[in-house]
Amino acid sequence: MTATQQTPAAHRDGIAQTLRDFLAKNDPTAMSAIEFLGRRFDAGLAWVHAPVGSGGLGWERGLQADVEQAMEAAGAEHADIMRNPIGLGMAAPTVLAHAAPELKSRLLRPLWTGEEMWCQLFSEPGAGSDLAGLATRAIADGDDWIINGQKVWTTYAHISKWAMLLARTDPSAPKHAGMTYFLLDMTTPGVHARPLRQATGQADFNEVFLDDVRISDTYRISEPGAGWSTARTTLVNERAIIGGSEPCREGGHMGRLTEMWRDRPELRTGDRFGVVVDAWIRAEVARLSNERTRQLMVSGEPGVEGSGAKVTAATNNQIITRLLAQLDPSAALDYDDWSVEYDAAIRPETFHYLRARANTIEGGTTEILLGQIADRILDLPRELKLDPNLPWQDIPK
């Protein structure tokens, strides 16, 4: 009986034995995190639902929880998405769902170990919220494509090895139908990333210029002109990751707010009590609601629920960071060197307040996501669109 023919109960017994055998031969405390993660990938314990050879065993997604519990008990470093957030959170599910086996074999292992960072070449100066209006061109040239254009707000482009790239291949088609999805080696000649310094002092966003970049057709992971449906895999995972990434009570920004509130009684005035309690309730409601989003991510591709989680997380972050700055304005202003890449654990409240401004824009603007929720969850009348069937080249720019 093959693994794919076994019953779920047999799979659960099988994963338990697989974990015992693996940990008996691989002590996570006796090797580097990268080496251990590599061995874990090779054993099919990165994503158990993935195909054999792609970091998985072809078993049920629900068994991943068993893997994580066993790894934690063995003292292994947590498979933290922050090692390679765009790679693990967005590229991995896209590559697993759409790429050819040889690309999965080449790309997924160093993505999983964090040895190769990923970025997302989607947004453009003239196509942010209206992503389908993008203008970067990819023109076929034999077995290659020649790509020209500009992308912007590309997180980690300056340190990434690989990128997910959406480009226009048929300007005569309607804007959603004329795009194609590629994977791009960021070291390819003609790729130039320029970091953008933000108000926080960070420079993790970039603008990226693509000048006669030649890419093999083997790195195309959608049918020509069908890139939008592939991009949706990336986008729904992005929104679920951003919105559903705070699993613990009083974690993140809320944890700092409750610590300040409890440790400094002089701040607990009557006019502040209601707003702090309101913020705590918002955070707790979001945490409980996000359990649903995380379950969807385990059981399969998340849906529009991820958009709701992202909207809520962005709004809550801005409310809570503003409260923190208001409660302790002297500490909030203690930000002397605006060029320093502050460690997350010691960043002053000014950093968090300013950084939260981006939350309602990045990963899909709040306005766009509310429109999706209205259309696809609440079944409200759709907003009138004037150009859905108009060729992209005929749309006024």
Catalytic residues: 238
Q: Is 319 in a helix, a strand, or coil?
A: helix
Backbone angles phi, psi at 233, to 5 degrees: -60, -45
Among 116, 112, 105, which Cα is nearest to 46's?
A: 112
- Give me the residues paired with residue 196 across strands: 205
| Number of CB atoms found within 10 A of residue 30's CB | 8
CA distance 239 to 364: 8
CA distance 284 to 249: 7
HSE, side-chain direction, 13 A CA sphere, residue 288: 5
Among 152, 146, 161, 37, which Cα is nearest to 91's?
A: 161
CA distance 141 to 222: 17
Dihedral angle computed from the Cα positions of residues 251, 256, 261 and 265, in that order, rounded to the nearest 10 degrees: 140
Token digits of residue 3: 């693994």
